[in-house]
Chain A
Amino acid sequence: QKEVEQDPGPLSVPEGAIVSLNCTYSNSAFQYFMWYRQYSRKGPELLMYTYSSGNKEDGRFTAQVDKSSKYISLFIRDSQPSDSATYLCAMSLGGGATNKLIFGTGTLLAVQP
């Protein structure tokens, strides 16, 4: 079993839809949770960064962490064609332990105009 599981998609939604992207994990010691966005032919870029459980909101994006269920989510409201990308979840044992950053496989999202 992988430490981090992520549905690869692809996920296709109409413009304006609410998108829910999810990851599950097995290591209860993970404390830092991240979402990266990767456009085609580009490197990943950090989108959201959350410590421990709870919600974090940034514009149209909300990151949610449920440590009791070992489940994290990224919600995108009013999705736009420019949101079409692969979304990677990532997590680590400690905020500085990037050498231990574990990535999900990524979910490919297509937002149709």
Chain B
Amino acid sequence: DADVTQTPRNRITKTGKRIMLECSQTKGHDRMYWYRQDPGLGLQLIYYSFDVKDINKGEISDGYSVSRQAQAKFSLSLESAIPNQTALYFCATKLGHTGELFFGEGSRLTVL
């Protein structure tokens, strides 16, 4: 099983719908991140969390919210999805200040 698991791997939804992407990890890492990847734009940080009570906005947090339900779980929500949120979303984890960033396999979201 993957150390960083994202669900769903693929989702097609309609404009205005609420969608949640979930991430769970078995690595025991304290820090968790949500990135978005778009062709020509690279990876952009949406939100990050250093522990359950510490949530921070990244570069492109507008239109997104997150919840750190436990050290191992970090979910990303789109309250009212719009077409320009169509992208590949990655969850990542890291141990402490200087650890390596480990990515999940991605969740492909299409908003029609």
Contact = CB atoms under 8 A, between A and B. Distances in A.
B7 to A, nearest CB: 14
Range class of the B interface residue count: 20 to 34
B105 interface: yes
Interface stretch (B13-21, B39-47, B70-78, B79-87): B39-47
A98 to B, nearest CB: 6
Contacts of A8: 40
A6 B100 CA distance: 22
A99 B98 contact: no
B42 A46 contact: no
Contacts of B64: none
A108 B33 CA distance: 24
B53 interface: no
Given A42-B106, A99-B56, A88 B43 contact: yes
A26 to B, nearest CB: 15
Interface in B26-56: 31, 33, 40-45, 48, 56
B66 interface: no
Interface residues of A, number: 21
A44 B33 contact: no
Contacts of B40: 8, 105
A99 B48 contact: yes
Interface string B85-97: 0000010101011
Contacts of A101: 45, 101
Interface of A: 4, 6, 8, 41-46, 49, 88, 90, 95-96, 98-99, 101, 103-106
Given A41-B106, A42-B105, A43-B92, 19 more contacts: A6-B42, A8-B40, A43-B104, A43-B106, A44-B90, A45-B102, A45-B103, A88-B42, A88-B43, A95-B97, A95-B98, A96-B96, A98-B48, A99-B45, A99-B48, A99-B58, A103-B44, A105-B40, A105-B42
